[in-house]
A and B are shown apart, each in its own frame.
Chain A
Amino acid sequence: MPITVHLDVMLARRKMRSKELAERIGITEANLSLLKSGHVKGVRFETLAKICQVLECQPGELLEYRPGDDETAPGARS
């Protein structure tokens, strides 16, 4: 998956536990764990907005695009 989730980094910066974040944004700890590890098919904007609100950050600080294993960037030369 070329999208990397840096949620654990942001949680460490804000000194917040996963459990607290999960409770505040209204998702289960299991789902939050899946999100942290990137083992999800997608994230709703609503969930992303709540995470950004609680962690006081921007989506770009949580998500990073890396054209790595699965695909190459458009226009990239081989």
Chain B
Amino acid sequence: MPSERLPLFARRCRWLAIFATVTAAFPVLVILIQWMVPAWRAGVARAMAGFDAAQPITLTWPVELACVVLSLLYLAVLAWGLLAVRRLCLRLAEGRIFEPQTGLLLRRFGLALLIFACADPFVSSLIGLLITRYNAPGQHHFEFAIDDSEVLQAFVGMLILLIGSVMAEAARIAEENRQII
């Protein structure tokens, strides 16, 4: 990269690191706040299960707790990947571009995205089952759906995983070549 572009590149990497941190933390905070407000809980539960307002649900405190834990675990995967992006961007901002760790952090994000995309339909179905578990007979609801955004997300995750693996190997070879005087 031309040296005159490095400061601009570093600045952009630092901003992206901040954005990744906020994106990792924000959904977790939103979910927690939404579940803490009693009036919002039914709406959050329906949204997470993909139900409309007409679908009857029954929320008890164990069901609410299970939904919170499930949604936080699910978001933790994405947060893990985004924190890897943060570390990656900070390393890039320091000029540590072509190193094996760069590829490994990219791999981590790709893996997180892949897991997040694959888990989405299961998490929605499970939450749907939980919130209709105590409904009257005949009103239990189970739905399993995969939409194209999840497929695309999984594909992008796999692609980033592959690119990260290639970069890590390339950086390893470059490091070896650096030891050839």
Residues on the B chain within 8 Å of A57, using CB: none
B149 within 8 A of A: no
Query: Given known contacts A43-B181, A44-B181, what 9 new A-B pairs fall within 8 Å (CB)?
Result: A27-B181, A31-B181, A34-B181, A40-B179, A40-B180, A41-B176, A41-B179, A41-B180, A44-B180
- Shortest CB–CB separation between residue A9 and chain B, in angstroms? 18
Residues on the B chain within 8 Å of A60, using CB: none
Summarize A's interface: helix, strand, loop or mixed: mixed
The tally of residues in A whose CB lies under 8 Å from a CB in B reads: 11
Residues on the B chain within 8 Å of A31, using CB: 181
Residues on the A chain within 8 Å of B180, using CB: 40-44
Residues on the B chain within 8 Å of A41, using CB: 176, 179-180
A4 within 8 A of B: no
Q: Which residues of A31-52 have CB atoms within 8 Å of chain B's CB atoms? A: 31-32, 34-35, 40-44, 47
In angstroms, Cα B176 to Cα A41, docked, is 7
Question: In chain A, what residue has the closest Cβ to B178?
Answer: A41
- Shortest CB–CB separation between residue A10 and chain B, in angstroms? 16
- Shortest CB–CB separation between residue A27 and chain B, in angstroms? 6
What does the 1/0 interface line of B163-181 toward A look like (CB < 8 Å)?
0000000000000100111
- Shortest CB–CB separation between residue B143 and chain A, in angstroms? 58
Most buried by A among B176, B180, B181: B181
Residues on the A chain within 8 Å of B176, using CB: 41
In angstroms, Cα B181 to Cα A34, docked, is 9
Question: In chain B, what residue has the closest Cβ to A28?
Answer: B181
Question: In chain A, what residue has the closest Cβ to B180?
Answer: A42
In angstroms, Cα B176 to Cα A27, docked, is 17
Question: In chain A, what residue has the closest Cβ to B179?
Answer: A41
Q: Which residues of B73-118 have CB atoms within 8 Å of chain A's CB atoms? A: none
Q: Which residues of A1-60 have CB atoms within 8 Å of chain B's CB atoms? A: 27, 31-32, 34-35, 40-44, 47
Question: In chain B, what residue has the closest Cβ to A31?
Answer: B181
In angstroms, Cα B181 to Cα A32, docked, is 8
